[in-house]
């Protein structure tokens, strides 16, 4: 099912920005997102009229449970672009010709960024964030091949443990709270809002650790190579619109949280507001050498721990051309963000060297 601006509940209460082009001149585009707070820039660009302002008529598919589902829709031709991170790695290994164009969540100004990730445990699990080796022997839910999988692998290594020291259970994020409540797991790792939801809905549940720069967040706007090669101008309009949405979100986190309640079914407004405070800390659409390094580090970790059988050159699957152009021509969209360090800035002809 595809959402259009006219169908979104309550949008008439907040008038969108005026479009700069006549409706007949708008370029049609379909996009997909996952049901996570960190994906909300896409929905905000729709609701606030930024897509229209930049000359686009964008349809957004109902949010997918995971990035794997989003990539399946992309491969099936149901959408033109999706927002996805770690699942991109497995898809590329399997032969899907994907290209990342910009961040939906991450940090261009530094390497470490995982503020939207948390590990939540049940009462009596005896897992301690101050003593991560207490993870040993525990049954922990994660969504294999996603960013929360990458996060728990990093925590396991930080604890001086191996993957064999814990029992990882492949679980979709919306099911994790139920599993914790039922006692089927000792803990789970997830992106917001699920860690916050669990602490409110599961008696005695507590946050073991949040963030900590254990990983560099991987979250990209992704498309198929052939489509990207033919739609450069449209991509730049899209990236400008979502960058403007990100800036609006950083300046208006409480209002952005209300948008989240319209796109994530059953999301409590208080949970959305708490989650948004973390989300805006890594709502950075820009690309830098840090983001190439983040993807490279994720590929290397998954390969080293045996979750993927081979690696790939990240230079072949990131195209920074369009976001770099937007950054150069519309710097005001990023004026509230930390400056990218000189040694991490990229330009035409940039190639990442591990």
Residues 273-322: pLDDT tens digits? 999 999 999 999 999 999 999 999 999 999 999 999 999 999 999 999 99
Q: What is the pLDDT of residue 187?
A: 98
* Distance from the Cα of residue 102 to its chain's centroid: 11
Average pLDDT on 99-109 reads 96
Q: Is the peptide bond before 41 cis (omega within 30 degrees of 0)?
A: no
Asked whether residue 2 carries a pLDDT value surpassing 70, the answer given is no
pLDDT band for position 23 (cuts 50, 70, 90): low
Pick from 33, 37, 34: which is nearest to 194 by CA? Answer: 37
- The CATH class for the domain spanning 2-111+216-344 reads alpha beta
For domain 117-210, give the fold. Answer: D-Maltodextrin-Binding Protein; domain 2 (3.40.190)
Percent share of the chain, pLDDT over 70: 93
Q: What is the pLDDT of residue 35?
A: 86
CB atoms within 10 A of CB 181: 15
Asked whether residue 15 carries a pLDDT value surpassing 80, the answer given is no
pTM above 0.85, yes or no: yes
Asked whether residue 230 carries a pLDDT value surpassing 70, the answer given is yes
Q: Where are the domains of the chain?
A: 2-111+216-344, 117-210
CB 220 within 8 A of CB 104: yes
CA-CA distance, 227 to 211, in Å (whole number)? 35
**Long-range contacts: 328-334, Cβ < 8 Å, 24+?**
330/240, 330/243, 333/240, 333/243, 333/244, 333/246, 333/247, 334/243, 334/247, 334/285, 334/286
117-210 and 2-111+216-344 share a CATH fold: yes
Pick from 65, 109, 41: which is nearest to 294 by CA? Answer: 109
Give the three-state DSSP class for 65.
Answer: coil
């Amino acid at each position: 099912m595809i959402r259009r601006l006219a169908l979104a509940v309550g949008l008439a209460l907040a008038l969108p920005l005026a479009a700069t082009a006549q409706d007949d001149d708008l370029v049609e585009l379909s996009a997909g997102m996952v049901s996570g707070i960190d994906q909300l820039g896409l929905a905000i660009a729709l609701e606030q009229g930024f897509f229209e302002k930049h000359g686009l008529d964008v349809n957004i598919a109902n949010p997918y449970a995971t990035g794997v589902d989003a990539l399946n829709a992309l491969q099936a031709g149901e959408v033109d672009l999706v927002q996805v991170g770690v699942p991109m790695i497995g898809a590329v290994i399997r032969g899907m010709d994907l290209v990342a164009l910009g961040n939906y969540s991450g940090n261009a100004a530094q390497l470490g960024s995982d503020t939207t990730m948390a590990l939540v445990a049940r009462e009596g699990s005896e897992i301690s964030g101050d003593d991560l080796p207490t993870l040993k022997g525990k049954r922990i839910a994660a969504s294999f091949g996603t960013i929360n999988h990458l996060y728990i692998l990093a925590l396991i290594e930080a604890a001086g443990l191996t993957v064999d020291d814990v029992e990882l259970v492949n679980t979709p994020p919306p099911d994790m709270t139920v599993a914790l409540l039922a006692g089927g797991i000792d803990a789970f790792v997830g992106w917001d809002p699920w860690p916050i939801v669990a602490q409110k809905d599961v008696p005695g549940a507590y946050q073991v650790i949040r963030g900590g720069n254990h990983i560099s967040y991987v979250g990209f706007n992704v498309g198929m190579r052939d489509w990207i090669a033919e739609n450069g101008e449209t991509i730049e309009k899209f990236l400008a619109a979502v960058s403007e949405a990100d800036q609006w979100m950083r300046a208006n986190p409480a209002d952005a949280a209300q948008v989240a309640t319209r796109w994530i079914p059953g999301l409590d407004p208080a949970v959305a507001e708490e989650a948004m405070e973390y989300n805006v800390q890594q709502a950075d659409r820009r690309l830098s050498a840090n983001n190439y390094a983040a993807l490279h580090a994720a590929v290397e970790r998954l390969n080293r721990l045996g979750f993927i059988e081979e690696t790939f050159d990240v230079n072949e699957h990131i195209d920074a051309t369009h976001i770099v152009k937007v950054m150069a021509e519309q710097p005001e969209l990023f004026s509230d963000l930390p400056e990218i360090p000189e040694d991490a800035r990229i330009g035409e002809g940039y190639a990442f060297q591990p």
